[in-house]
Each structure stands twice: as structure tokens, then as C-alpha cells.
Structure 1
Amino acid sequence: MPIIFSALITFSLGYALVSGLAFSVVKKTAEDLKTFDVTEPPPPPEEKPPPPQKTETPPPPQISAPPPLVRMETPAPPIQTTPVMTPAPIITPTAKPAPPAPPAPPPVNRSAQAKANLASYFTDSDYPPAAQDAQQQGTTRFSLTVGPDGRVSDCQVTGSSGSSSLDQATCNILRRRARFTPAMNTAGQAVSGSASGAIKWVLPAE
């Protein structure tokens, strides 16, 4: 029993000590709390909104510019100058005055006249064989130039018979056979004149 009692006393003393110590600690803490100036902490700073995210735009495609056109100017061809040759002065000889024109012949007073009928200079034997074989016939008209000697110097066919053989034979015969009295001027001199006519060619009878 004495052991139990001493244990209780020891427990009580320990409890009292512990309780007193605890009370003093609590009191001290209460006093400290009374003197502690409680201040509210400052509000936290407002958070700034995050900056907007920049959308990276891809750079535009780079278009390579075409190379500049280089125009080569063709130089103008050199101007060739031809030396101008001054022509030598042309010396025109002084023309001699033309001789005076001869006086005009006296007008024709009488035309040329055939000495016989022109048809009488033609015979059947004069018919061209080519025209006879081709049975060609017709009238050849002509114009004659008669010289001062009365002979035919020129013959021109003015109307064809239709046969070149007959036309050619007409002029050939008149040049050889026809005779004229030449034309005369007012002074009584023989001069060139003209005459005209026609020859009818008819096929000779067989």
C-alpha cells in the first residue's frame, strides 16, 4: 500500500508540475497574443493577362524579278558622202545660122497623065500562075507616084483584090510598063506628080 500511495503522490506531483508548466506556457502565449498587432497582409498584385499570342504570318513568297532587258542600240551606219563633182561647163559652139529655105516650087498646073489606058499594059500571060491555080480573081486599087521623066517611081496598093499574088503583079507591071506625061508646074517645068487607078483581074478563058 505504501508503494501505491507513493506512486500516486509521485503521479500527482508530476501532473501538477506538468499542469502548472503548461498553464504558464499558455498564459505567456495569451499575453503575447494580446500584444501582437495583427495586420492584414496586402492583397496580392493583380495578375496581368498574358499578352496575346502573336500569330506568326509566313513571309510572302519572294518572286524573283526577271533580269532587266538590256537593249543594245545598233549604231547607225556611217553616212557615206559622195563628193559632188562639179561638171565642167559645157561650151556650146555657136550654131551657124541655117541657110535660107529654098523658094517653094511653083504650084502644079497639070497632073501626070497616062499615055495609054493602064489596063492595056496587062495581058492574059501576066496572070500569076499561083493565083490562076487557086482560081483567084478580083480588083486591085493602087496609087502611083510619077517622076519628072514620066515613069512610075512608087506604087502603093490602096485596095486589095484578096490575092497577094494579084496585088504584087499589079505594081510590078505598072513600074515596068506604064508611061506618063509628067506633071507641069506654072513655070512650065516637069515635076513629080501622082496618079491612081484600078486593075480588074479575071481568070483567062480556057
Structure 2
Amino acid sequence: MISGSLENATPPKPAARQDGSIGAFFYPPEAVARREEGKTIVTIHVTAKGKVDACSVATSSGSASLDKASCDFVRQVRFDPARDETGKAVDGSTQFPMNWHLPKK
């Protein structure tokens, strides 16, 4: 059961770095070799300290390597944690989309 304060929590959001990005990710070489593209949606759990401690694929891109790379990426992203109705940082979950397009040559 979810407590009242969590029902009204704002979800966690990626925290931008000083350069405006949320982090660097690398296209898996095996996905490049197979010319794989797609969209992976992962469900993540973020602690009250802004760290991803769980990741699962909610919608697969159709590529196991892109799906794995999506979780690998979000695990290194720092998040602003969910906040309860009083503004206190709390654990929370959200979905995070990753759109994979082959690098331009």
C-alpha cells in the first residue's frame, strides 16, 4: 500500500550537469554492427539521494544490447529525487525513454 505522502509525490527527474547534459552514453558496438535502432522505455527506482538502484525494461527496443545499454546509462545519471507533498526527498519510480539512432558517419 502506498502512503498518502507518496501518492502525491512528484516523480524523480534527471538532474542536468553543468554542461546541460544528463550524461554521456555510448552506442553498443554490437548494435552498430547489426544496424539496430529503436526506443527502449525503462522503469527505474530512484532513492531519496538521487541514485538509481533498480532498472527494468518496460518496453523493449527489440535489441537486447540497446535495452541493456539503456539501464547501464540511467544507472550513471544523477536524478533529482521524488518529493512528497511537504517537499521532502523520498524514494520514487518513474519511466525513462531512450531513443536509439545510429551514429552519423
TM-score (norm 2): 0.80
Q: CA–CA distance in 1 between the matches of 2:39 and 2:23?
A: 15
Aligned to 2:12: 112
Unaligned runs of 5+ in 1: 1-103
Q: Higher strand proportion, which one?
A: 2
Conserved 8 A contact 1:106-1:185: no
How big is the alpha-carbon RMSD for the aligned residues of Structure 1 and Structure 2? 2.3
- Amino acid of the residue matched to residue 152 of structure 1? V
Q: 1:160 to 1:187 in 2, by over 3 A?
A: same
Identity of paired residues, percent?
Answer: 34
CA deviation vs aligned residue, 1:6-49 (integer Å, no higher than 9, x gap)? xxxxxxxxxxxxxxxxxxxxxxxxxxxxxxxxxxxxxxxxxxxx
Q: Are 2:40 and 1:140 aligned?
A: yes
Q: CA deviation at 1:111?
A: 2.3
Aligned to 1:182: 81
Q: 1:121 aligns with which of 10, 23, 46?
A: 23
Q: CA–CA distance in 1 between the matches of 2:96 and 2:87?
A: 26
Aligned to 2:63: 163
Aligned to 2:93: 194
Conserved 8 A contact 1:137-1:201: yes
CA deviation vs aligned residue, 1:52-110 (integer Å, no higher than 9, x gap)? xxxxxxxxxxxxxxxxxxxxxxxxxxxxxxxxxxxxxxxxxxxxxxxxxxxx8551343
Higher relative contact order (CA 8 A, sep 6+): 2
- Amino acid of the residue matched to residue 88 of structure 2? Q
Q: CA deviation at 1:182?
A: 1.2
Conserved 8 A contact 2:42-2:95: yes
Aligned to 1:29: none
- Amino acid of the residue matched to residue 195 of structure 1? T
Q: CA–CA distance in 2 between the matches of 1:135 and 1:187?
A: 47
Q: Are 2:103 and 1:204 aligned?
A: yes
Larger Rg: 1
| Greater than 4 Å deviation, 4+ residue runs | none
Mapping of residues 1-206 of structure 1, within 5 Å: 107-108=5-6, 109-116=9-16, 120-123=22-25, 126-176=26-76, 178-206=77-105
